Structure 1
Amino acid sequence: MKTISNYTFKTILFIGIGLLCLSAEAQEVEWLTWSDAAELVSTEKNPKKIFIDVYTDWCGWCKKMDKDTFQNAEVAAYMSKNFYMVKLDGEGKEPIEYKGKSYKFVPQGRNGYHEFAATLMQGRLSYPTTIFLDEEMNMLSPVPGYQKPKPFLDIAKYFGDNIYKEKDWKAYIGASGR
């Protein structure tokens, strides 16, 4: 019978504990489709705001934001509590209904874009872009570009905690020392 050395055992134990710590740090977010979030807003007695992550399959910064920001335990917990979270492919092919209008995919060049994504991003097709909508699906703000967890959480709390109703962004950031 072969036994493992004390060194090998400690190495395996150390790696196992490290992996457990990593898995405890990352948290999966429950992403919804647009139609699921829209239905929840219209049927819930006290609906949440909607958060939309507009991405593309080819976008490296989108993947980095998924891994670094959205799987951050503090970000994921806050977002899940305060928002219906939607993943929206900026080049998706399925039609989307929003406020009585149907939006569709527009072929252009090698790929194309989805009209709904372009509308939410106010014509600036930049990935990733995160969009915040209120409980009645009105636009609060698009936020273009990759965001690290802490700055993203500041933005999310600005909208999620309704601070935007009392302070403009500069006053909020300045007052909080961010």
Structure 2
Amino acid sequence: MKKILILFITLLFFSFTSTETRPYKKGIDFFKGNYMEALDKARKENKPVFLDVYASWCGPCKKLKKTTFKDEAVGEYFNKNFICIAIDGDTEEGVAIINKYNVRSYPTLIIADYEGNMRTKTTGFVKPHILINFGKRIVP
């Protein structure tokens, strides 16, 4: 009887803690590909590009990825209105982006049109509501 009770409690516990039963919160869905491919996708969808220029060793960059970029409202707004891409500034492609947009610190967040012309940029860690307001400078 004791084993059955333990089994029942264990099954009950897992049924309530299963990830399938919890509401799923989705943040920014970053494009998997290079910057030129992201611009092409943006052109086809008639959207601007949201570009996160980061470094793997950067503390504020890691905090953005763990918090702001995972925020549900941020994801909803940016996924609807932009083609989002994150590029490591320490890569060959990243160096080209740094030179093109005059990036001087990490993270640098850039909004560009689908031709790659910068519309606005900001640097450093930002909270979710600040990032949404940043995006609304270009897409109300």
TM > 0.5: yes
CA distance in 2, matches of 1:129, 1:58: 14
Deviations 1:129-168 (A, max 9, x none): 100112432111121001111111111122122xxxxxxx
Aligned runs of 1:54-133 on 2, under 5 Å? Answer: 54-94=53-93, 114-120=95-101, 122-124=102-104, 126-133=105-112
CA distance in 1, matches of 2:9, 2:41: 54
Change (3 A) 1:58 1:8: same
Alpha carbons 2:52, 2:109 under 8 Å: kept: yes
% identity of equivalent residues:
30
Two-structure CA RMSD over aligned residues (Å): 2.7
TM value normalised by structure 1: 0.64
Unpaired runs of 5+ in structure 1?
95-112, 162-178
CA distance in 2, matches of 1:26, 1:118: 32
TM value normalised by structure 2: 0.79
Number of corresponding residues:
137
Aligned to 1:37: 38
Alpha carbons 1:132, 1:141 under 8 Å: kept: yes
CA distance in 1, matches of 2:92, 2:5: 55
CA distance in 1, matches of 2:139, 2:18: 37
1:25 maps onto 2:6 in alignment = no
Aligned to 1:104: none
Higher relative contact order (CA 8 A, sep 6+): 2
1:93 CA displacement:
2.1
1:25 CA displacement:
2.2
Unpaired runs of 5+ in structure 2?
none
What is the aligned counterpart of 2:135 among 156, 160, 178? 156
CA distance in 1, matches of 2:136, 2:77: 8
